[in-house]
A and B are shown apart, each in its own frame.
Chain A
């Protein structure tokens, strides 16, 4: 792991910490900031590990014969597997109060993702497809490009604020904030995907995955809301 990725991860961790501090007075005593922070960290590490191993297997590297390659995150992390791994790890760790904990941690997780995207300047991944817009950033050849990671960071930061307000005002039904959070993250990914550069990937896959995740989140939020209501 290199310093650019570490710096971006540090920005993400600071965003998580600040958001948890902002909501500290709102969450139930058993959901204290320290526990939520630990849950977020465990989920993130498990997700990264699963996603990295998935990317290694997909690329033809045997994780058993080259175990240390798991640490080379820059070599690729399968985002879908990482998301699944993080959600499953969170589900296991918070199983006794899953819905309440998911609501409490959702704003911090979105803020952390926003911080990770904003850290694109340190990890050298801000630029997307060409653009003539005034705020475009020039690449090495002088072509203006969408600062696509900054777009994602702004969208997610706005979503984190909405989730935090919902949490603090206590207007949302149980599960609603977590469901909306998944929808926000999917929506931000859908909105920015066409502006991202990639190798061999089609954004259509992400459209399908994002719509499915958003739909499932809303459905789950409604079901949980009715059950609790």
Chain B
């Protein structure tokens, strides 16, 4: 009985430790809608390298990489622009996801049709693109990001700054 009690206490402690970084959903503004043309214009005009992450609130793997993106944006947000494209989602679900993971440090847009990632040459969710300033694609990562891949992508685009 005692080991089971210890396991139960550990699980409750783990559950209570979660969501420490979350923000109230009311503080998350509605996401502006976007199109492939608008995203291209945004990338072309950017003087900073860009990490563009395609996500959705219904996507389990996106939940796994969200804390990593939050940390990376907090660490490199001054020198790298972080953009999130939420695809095939609703405003409420998207804002809930941003609030749950404290992703308010990232610039988010909503793409209800899911046309943006297809236009950029990627398929599936999640997918992450790494752009040099001016919108040149340096690399693309399909699937869940891990720490090394994200750090490498950021380091690579950071070295493209003149």
Min Cβ gap B41→A in Å is 24
* B72-85 interface bits toward A, Cβ cutoff 8 Å, 1 = contact, 0 = none: 10110000000000
From DSSP, what is the main secondary structure of chain A's interface residues? loop
Task: Report Cα–Cα, A63/B19, bound state, in Å.
Answer: 11
Most chain B CB atoms below 10 A, which of A53, A57, A66, A196: A57
From B63, B145, B152, contact of A69 by CB (8 A):
B63
Task: Report Cα–Cα, A62/B138, bound state, in Å.
Answer: 34
Task: Report Cα–Cα, A65/B11, bound state, in Å.
Answer: 11
From B72, B139, B146, B160, contact of A76 by CB (8 A):
B146
A-B contact count (CB 8 A): 112
Please determine whether B138 and A140 come into contact, CB atoms closer than 8 angstroms.
yes
Please determine whether A139 and B20 come into contact, CB atoms closer than 8 angstroms.
no
Please determine whether B68 and A63 come into contact, CB atoms closer than 8 angstroms.
no
From A56, A57, A60, A75, contact of B100 by CB (8 A):
A60
* Interface residue total, chain B, C-beta cutoff 8 A: 43
Which residues from B are CB-within-8-Å of A59? 64, 66-68, 101
Please determine whether A61 and B63 come into contact, CB atoms closer than 8 angstroms.
yes
CB-CB under 8 A for A74 and B144, given A62-B19, A127-B152:
yes
B2 within 8 A of A: no
Please determine whether B67 and A197 come into contact, CB atoms closer than 8 angstroms.
no
CB-CB under 8 A for A200 and B17, given A68-B60, A75-B61, A76-B64:
no
Interface of chain A residues 148 through 205 with chain B (CB within 8 A): 196-201
Please determine whether A57 and B68 come into contact, CB atoms closer than 8 angstroms.
no
Please determine whether A60 and B102 come into contact, CB atoms closer than 8 angstroms.
yes
Task: Report Cα–Cα, A58/B19, bound state, in Å.
Answer: 9
A125 within 8 A of B: yes
Task: Report Cα–Cα, A69/B145, bound state, in Å.
Answer: 14
Interface of chain A residues 122 through 150 with chain B (CB within 8 A): 124-125, 127, 130, 139-141, 143
Given A60-B20, A74-B143, output 17 extra A-B contacts at Cβ < 8 Å: A61-B63, A62-B15, A63-B18, A66-B60, A66-B63, A69-B60, A76-B64, A76-B67, A76-B68, A125-B148, A125-B149, A141-B156, A141-B159, A198-B148, A199-B71, A200-B71, A200-B72
On A, residues with C-beta under 8 Å from B are 2, 53, 56-66, 68-69, 72, 74-76, 124-125, 127, 130, 139-141, 143, 196-201
On B, residues with C-beta under 8 Å from A are 11, 14-15, 17-22, 60-61, 63-68, 71-72, 74-75, 100-102, 130, 132, 138-139, 143-152, 155-157, 159-160
